[in-house]
A and B are shown apart, each in its own frame.
Chain A
Amino acid sequence: MSQTFDDISRQLGRRHRRSARLKWISMSALGLAGLFLLWFFSDMLGKGLPAFQQAYIKTTIQYSQQASQDGRKAIDQALVPLVSRTEVRGIPRLLRNQPARVGTQEFRWLLTKSEVDQYLKGHRHTLNAQEQADIQRRVDSGQIALRFNAAFFTQGDSRIAESAGLLSAVVGTVMTMIVTLSIAFPIGVMTAIYLEEFAPDNWFTQIIEININNLAAIPSILFGLLGLAIFINFFGVPRSSPLAGGMTLALMTLPIIIISTRTALRSVPDSIRHAAFGVGCSQWQVVRDHVLPLAMPGIMTGSIIGLAQAMGETAPLIIVGMVAFIPDVGASFTNAATVMPAQIFTWAGEPEKAFVEKTAGAILVLLAVLISLNAFAVVLRKKFERRW
């Protein structure tokens, strides 16, 4: 033992410093994850928030006889290069539907071309100096302005950037989720009740259990292959339809609902069951009248979380063809439709620069929906959670 006290205390100091270092390193790992989240959200907000505004131009529209043939005749010729093609195309259609309007005039805001919009937002554009000066003059006089982009929420998809909207994707998402939930929720809850309350503990039950855990870990794209091979090619469900997509997603959501329902059922204390059996209930009566109502908040929470997950899923839907271009908003279970994540995917693939902003805007909408769903689930759990 030739170590002096100095040696030992130096060694101790080293050990404690190393111990402290681990703490700082592990803390910075968590910090790194937080920083990433911050980077992600600020980037998405920066890219996506401008999508909620769009450049509009205020002008007089002359609904003349000529305009019912050629929409460009209805507006000031100097403005034709600035106004969006969708607005110009819409005028003859409007006059065909409402012939009484011919001969009248209207003063309102029209969508501009996306070049003007990108210029106003300071993004990259292809306007020359003369056009820029012209637009700047109109902006200063208040004729062109950035206004809330209502078209983004009230219109379907479009190849023309300025009039591309989310509505058809939102409707498609709602339809798909209706299919998904109406299949996955009853089957999932019934499976969980069977496994938790009725099933004997034998090899059959164990196979089902292992199988459910496996199902939860299978890559989502394989569910798409199943949907394509079985639902579409074998059963003849229409391709790209909310029915096909919803059924595929239902199989993915099933394990989530089963697992959370089982947890909820297990958290109901046995004393409730004993008491109910004691007054002469049959097993199904115990489950229906006593266990299930108490487990309902947990089941709902799990289902909402499963729903949120299904809502953000893209890969299996691409495989079953739900990336269709859907300009018209229509609610049908068997017609081609698209969903929000698939819409994001299509827009992300558009070469036009203005679509980057649209994509990020759609992402913000999707994230807002998902976060509020999850927050709702958490609130539900907090409010109804019972400690036994």
Chain B
Amino acid sequence: MQSQSGFLIFCAALVLLGLLAFFAGRYKAVRVRRAGASMYAQPDQYAWFAVLSTAGPAIFVGALGAFFLLLLDVSVPTFYWLAVSLAVAGAGLALGIAQVRPAFHARKAIERVIRGILALAALISIAATFGILFSIISEALRFFQLHSLWAFLTGTTWSPGASFLASAGRGDGGGAEFGSVPLFAGTFMITLIAMLVAVPIGLLSAIYMSEYAPGRVRTFAKPMLEVLAGIPTVVYGFFAAITVAPVIVAMAGWVGLDASYNNAVAPGVVMGIMIIPFISSLSDDVINAVPDSMRQGALALGMTRGETIRDVVVPAALPGIISASLLGMSRALGETMIVVMAAGMRPNLTANPFEDMTTVTVRIVAALTGDQAFASAETLSAFALGLVLFVVTLSLNLVSVLMIRRFREKYRVNNL
């Protein structure tokens, strides 16, 4: 609570000092100008420079103090911390006022500061990526200290149950097995089903919209597909579990198959439908970017419209289509809510899509929503799984970006 009130005092003092800097700076600048000196900048700009030189260093020092306080557990007394940062603010104020002189380029100085602030903001997005990498890798390393990497990648049994007892102080953690093969098998099975639904429907829809559809249909169909992309995944998950899964079970029953209610088909199909718009909109753009001269050439040779599309347009657009499919695939691999709600919890190594099977993301959620100590092997295993997921989706994305770049260079398209 003390640091909170300290923070409030700091903010209030800074605002007051900033106001003081602004009006004092402007007053002095106006006076200097009235005295007849020709200045490089407007009074307001000198005033803003004074504000920046007051607030900037003080905020920096304050943030540094908070950083030490939070991270390194150095108990800097709030009073000293406050006093030092306010002293810095005062010094900045004095400097800002002193800089109000005709030869000083206040506008350029402001420009430099703002440029620095903007670059700092751009760095935050890099920090986010490194934050993800750092957090996942460091926790995954802790996991691999407990269990071997080789067993993790090639083991066929996933039974983290015993590690729970170990973290509770009973048992020694022996018997817990973290073989991720069944999880990846389940993930790839569901992804495969999703792609079997999404690629044909998405690609054919894109072909229809770019090659056949009259403008009226296009203006209606494009938003319709975008609605599919805008539905939250938790809603898809509910739909898959409550509505689609019983339908799949009934349909499997007609052909004499025995399907589980947590079968892989229901989440796979629903996930495929979720991915359709990703594939169709990018494929649509790519097909539209294929130069018309190629279509005209093919038609002039006497090819029918269908042959032109099949033998000329689609092959030309293939890098873009593959790239769209890879993007869709990386979405399917990382999709969480649909499988958490509609797929099973039991790691199951099987090729039968009507059995229940679990995925990587389901296990991540399961490992992190229990009431376990953070350092338990099961919790850490979530980060190991996350690391693999990160590597796989990142490489899919990179390949996809490279393919689309090749397409763009080949046809000199700029808006993809």
Contacts and interface: CB of A to CB of B under 8 A. Distances in A.
A312 B208 contact: no
A235 B70 contact: yes
A44 B111 contact: no
Contact of B212 (A23, A284, A309): A23
Contacts of A323: 369
B227 to A, nearest CB: 6
Contacts of A47: 242
Interface string B324-357: 0001001101111100110000000000000000
Given A225-B132, A225-B383, A27 B334 contact: no
Given A344-B234, A370-B230, A220 B364 contact: no
Contacts, number: 257
Interface stretch (A31-39, A57-65, A114-122): A31-39
A222 to B, nearest CB: 6
A256 to B, nearest CB: 12
B304 A18 contact: yes
A366 B232 contact: yes
A215 interface: yes
A315 B366 CA distance: 12
B389 A348 contact: no
Considering residues A15, A22, A213, A220, which has the most beta carbons from chain B within 10 angstroms of its beta carbon? A22
B334 A213 contact: no
Given A190-B117, A222-B334, A314 B208 contact: no
Contact of B139 (A40, A212, A229): A229
A348 B273 CA distance: 21
A187 to B, nearest CB: 5
Interface in B128-153: 128-129, 131-132, 134-136, 138-139
A222 B132 contact: yes
A313 B208 contact: no
A225 to B, nearest CB: 5
CB-CB nearest 9 A-B residue pairs: A219-B334, A312-B232, A19-B306, A229-B135, A29-B204, A190-B121, A26-B208, A194-B118, A315-B336
Given A226-B131, A282-B108, A315-B365, A22 B125 contact: no
A228 interface: yes
Interface in B351-389: 361, 364-365, 368-369, 374, 382-383, 386, 389
A346 to B, nearest CB: 10
A26 B211 CA distance: 10
B209 A312 contact: no
A208 B208 contact: no
15 contacts: A15-B307, A22-B306, A26-B205, A33-B224, A33-B280, A208-B126, A210-B401, A214-B129, A214-B394, A217-B393, A218-B393, A218-B394, A220-B336, A225-B135, A315-B337
Nearest to A254: B125
A30 to B, nearest CB: 4
A193 interface: yes
B239 interface: yes
B122 A195 contact: yes
Interface in A226-253: 226, 228-230, 233-236, 251
A198 B309 contact: no
Interface of B: 70-71, 107-108, 110-111, 114-115, 117-119, 121-126, 128-129, 131-132, 134-136, 138-139, 200-201, 203-205, 207-209, 211-213, 221, 224-225, 227-228, 230-235, 237-239, 241-243, 273, 276, 280, 304-307, 309-310, 327, 330-331, 333-337, 340-341, 361, 364-365, 368-369, 374, 382-383, 386, 389-390, 393-394, 397-398, 401
B390 A218 contact: yes
Nearest to B108: A282
A282 B48 CA distance: 15
A203 B393 CA distance: 24
B334 A191 contact: no
Given A30-B208, A359-B238, 7 more contacts: A15-B306, A23-B305, A29-B201, A193-B118, A194-B122, A220-B336, A348-B341
Given A29-B204, A344-B234, A19 B304 contact: yes
B232 A341 contact: yes
Contact of A225 (B309, B337, B382): B382
Contacts of B108: 282
B361 A221 contact: yes
Interface string A10-52: 0000011011111101110110111011001001100100000
Given A193-B118, A214-B129, A19 B111 contact: no
B212 A348 contact: no
A260 interface: no
Contacts of A371: 227, 230
Contacts of A210: 401
A210 to B, nearest CB: 8
A363 interface: yes
B201 A191 contact: no
Interface residues of A, number: 88
A27 B341 contact: no
Contacts of A217: 327, 330, 393, 397
Contacts of B365: 221, 315, 318-319
A181 interface: no
A191 B132 contact: no
A370 B374 CA distance: 35
A230 B135 contact: yes
Considering residues B135, B235, B340, B341, which has the most beta carbons from chain A within 10 angstroms of its beta carbon? B235
Given A30-B204, A30-B208, A315 B136 contact: no
A233 B393 contact: no
Nearest to A190: B121
Contact of A191 (B125, B221, B390): B125
A363 B201 contact: no
A213 B401 contact: yes
A258 interface: yes
A363 B122 contact: no
Contacts of A367: 231, 235
Contacts of A18: 304, 306-307
Contacts of A19: 304-307
Nearest to A36: B273
A341 B128 CA distance: 24
B135 A40 contact: no
A87 to B, nearest CB: 29
A26 B221 CA distance: 13
A190 B122 CA distance: 7
B209 A30 contact: yes
A363 B258 CA distance: 31
Contact of B389 (A187, A219, A230, A235): A219
A199 interface: yes
A12 B310 CA distance: 17
A326 interface: no
B383 to A, nearest CB: 6
B238 A222 contact: no
Given A19-B307, A22-B309, A212 B241 contact: no
Given A20-B306, A207-B126, A312-B234, A26 B212 contact: yes
A164 interface: no
